[in-house]
Chains A and B, each alone.
Chain A
Amino acid sequence: MDASVAPALVLKDVEAGYGGGPVLRDFNLTVAAGEVYALLGPNGAGKSTAARVACGLIPVRRGRATAGEGAPRRGRIGLAPQDCALFPALTPRENVAAVAALCGLPRSNRPAAVERALALTGCAPRADEPVHSLSGGWRRRANLSAALVGRPRLLIADEPTEGVDAAARVVLSSALRETVQAGAGCLLISHDEAFVSETADRIGVLAQGRLLAEGPPKALLRQAFGLARLLVVKLPRPASRLAASRFAQSGLAPSKDGLEWRLLCEDALGAAQRVSPEADAEGGEVAVRRPGLDDLVAHLSDASS
């Protein structure tokens, strides 16, 4: 990241919402040019509101929202919404071309820009079939292509991997990486932990309209969990009284439905050995793993509430 280049997005002390109380309060977020910034959080945390503020689709009540520097220009922000925002009767190529025209790309440059955007997401092989006949994965590719065609200064991608297979996920990740390498900033909203891990430079964890933590994913995980590992016991049915007592004695905490017990500690392997007999007797599975981004979101959300 080059500090001399203006950030792609700055939200400074933002308060914003819909009608009633604010959804975002004292919200600060900066997406640098050349980085993918993933916004994570539980449902209702305010991620979509933050994205809409970033787009300028809802005004801020207080604070400041700036996308890029200088005067606003057409196509400055590329939006790939969660739903596939495409004309269903048109082909991906026609959809992308329509957005290119709206972005104000010169007529002579449009064909090359359209081909580039389609190639970036790997959509070219199905680019001439009507969108309504395409599968969800191909629509996702076309959806992202349409957001990329105007070479936006800021790309906002809302759940770009929903319903796509592993191969498409790799392609979409590299499309986002190539886009930011070309100088754009990307605000990514996703529940796809693996996709965020391999794509995002920084993440921000949001809960109840406030940013709880932000930084590179690995650094945040290290900061939150240190060397701790996560012990997870999954049960086919709620534990018997005896097993539940044993799990609790070992420090495990049950989920709301009682089908999962968890413990975060540095000696997770030792704890696993202690609870294995009861878990086996209950027909459950025992696993020890590094905590992931989902665990980080849950950990920070729980701590804040």
Chain B
Amino acid sequence: MMAVAGAWARGFWRDRSGMALTLVLPPLVYLLFAAVFGAGARGDIDASVALHDAARTPATAAVGQALSRDLGPRLRRLDDVQAVERAVIDGRADAGVLIARDEAGAPQVTVVSAAGRDVAAAALQARLVPIAAMLAGRPAPPSRDVPVRQVGPQGDVQGAYYAGAVSVMFVFFAAMHGAMGGLDERRSGLQARLVLARGGTTPILAGRAVWLTTVGLMQSAAVFLAAWPRLPDLAFWQSAAALLTAALVALCAAGVALALTAACQSREQAQPLTTFVALLLAALGGSMAPRFLMPEAFRTLGWITPHAWAVETYQALIWRGDFSAGVLAGWAALGGVGLAGLALAVMMEQRRAAR
């Protein structure tokens, strides 16, 4: 078993550019995901706003100045209503603000939105409520009627989330790609040679699983290293448990990848199948978009993927610092799927040899 893992490890070590891509790409993608998605979920929605002030009173000019202070260069003043609407429709502005006079001559504020811009419009609307009340000569509604109390750890929850989510996605991609080497070994007869030398299929596939698990663990380590500044302070037990989770994720990916490639006749079959499965699992399991933003049905459906178990286990351990039954269930699911995949791969390879 270790001879096979060692042979794969030597091959990996000698392909330096492949090795670099395997270990450098995941942290880079993590940094990108964390930067792109992290800002939005922290509440820093950098919405751009188009403003047209048709009222042109000192009071409405003050509103414009207040918005300008708030939004800076993201506020654009336009000359007419149509220009504001076009800017919002075209996407040059996330939302628009129109200030006009009503029939009584009082300034009236309207937020202009378009399909898919609900979040930006709602955020802008909330900012404008007290301003609109002031312009209408009404007292501003008290904003503390519904107080907000923040609970749980402080810090970059998105950064922590994506460390797990991105690492799982890449571990699965790498495992799928790596397992395809087994198809070459089957085609050339190397697999038959190794099986004969060792006296069975199980040790050969187990050797591959050991190596794929090692690569997966290295990838996860690379991602979490890049994520370290964004993670909350971790106790030793949290780091150890996260390491075990990463090992089980890698084992799970190795098992699934070996089973999928064992089911395929050739690389031509395996390439699209494994890519499809890896993308599907990543999308459903919350590696691309956070699970807590998914509709309930998809969040439930996501539990069929190892990614969801992995992401939730990482979140529990790293973000919430919570060693619960959920973590144990996650470990069991990941390890179970990995071992079942390996067993399935052995069975299929043995049956294939007999066909």
Contact = CB atoms under 8 A, between A and B. Distances in A.
Contacts, number: 90
B7 A79 contact: no
A18 B193 CA distance: 20
Interface core residue of A82, A89, A102, A147 (most chain B CB under 10 Å):
A102
Interface string A86-116: 1111100011001101111000000000000
Interface stretch (A26-34, A52-60, A291-299): A52-60
Nearest to B188: A83
A270 interface: no
A56 B354 CA distance: 9
Contacts of B2: 101
A74 interface: yes
A82 B6 contact: no
Interface in B176-205: 185, 187-190, 192-199, 203
B10 A90 contact: yes
A58 B354 contact: yes
Contact of A89 (B11, B193, B199): B11
A18 B352 CA distance: 10
Contacts of A72: 199
A89 B198 CA distance: 21
A89 B12 CA distance: 8
B355 A81 contact: no
A99 B192 contact: no
A102 B192 contact: no
A147 B193 contact: yes
B354 A74 contact: no
Given A19-B355, A83-B187, A85-B189, A74 B199 contact: yes
B197 A85 contact: no
Contact of A103 (B11, B197, B355): B197
A98 B4 contact: yes
Contacts of B6: 98, 101
A150 B197 contact: yes
Given A19-B355, A73-B199, A98-B3, A55 B192 contact: yes
Contacts of A18: 355
B7 A87 contact: yes
Interface in B25-72: none
A81 B192 contact: yes
A81 B3 contact: no
B268 interface: no
B193 A81 contact: yes
Contacts of A81: 188-190, 192-193
A147 B189 CA distance: 12
Interface string B334-355: 0000000000000000000111
Nearest to A149: B197
A56 B198 CA distance: 13
A145 to B, nearest CB: 12
A94 B10 contact: yes
Nearest to B10: A90
Interface string B315-330: 0000000000000000
B183 to A, nearest CB: 13
A101 B190 CA distance: 15
B7 A90 contact: yes
A84 interface: yes
Interface in B158-182: none
B354 A79 contact: no
Given A57-B353, A85-B188, A85-B190, A98 B7 contact: yes
A268 interface: no
B291 to A, nearest CB: 39
A85 B199 contact: no
A77 interface: yes
B196 A79 contact: yes
A146 interface: yes
Given A77-B196, A130-B14, A83 B355 contact: no
A20 to B, nearest CB: 11
B103 interface: no
A102 B194 contact: yes
B145 interface: no
A280 B346 CA distance: 64
Nearest to B15: A89
A46 interface: no
A77 B189 CA distance: 14
A75 interface: yes
A59 B354 contact: yes
Interface string A156-192: 0010000000000000000000000000000000000
Contacts of B7: 87, 90, 94-95, 98
Closest CB pairs A-B (n = 4): A81-B189, A89-B11, A101-B3, A85-B190
19 contacts: A52-B353, A55-B196, A57-B353, A58-B353, A58-B354, A58-B355, A74-B198, A83-B187, A83-B189, A85-B190, A85-B192, A86-B190, A87-B10, A94-B7, A98-B6, A102-B4, A102-B197, A103-B198, A158-B189
Given A85-B193, A86-B190, 5 more contacts: A72-B199, A78-B196, A83-B187, A85-B189, A94-B10
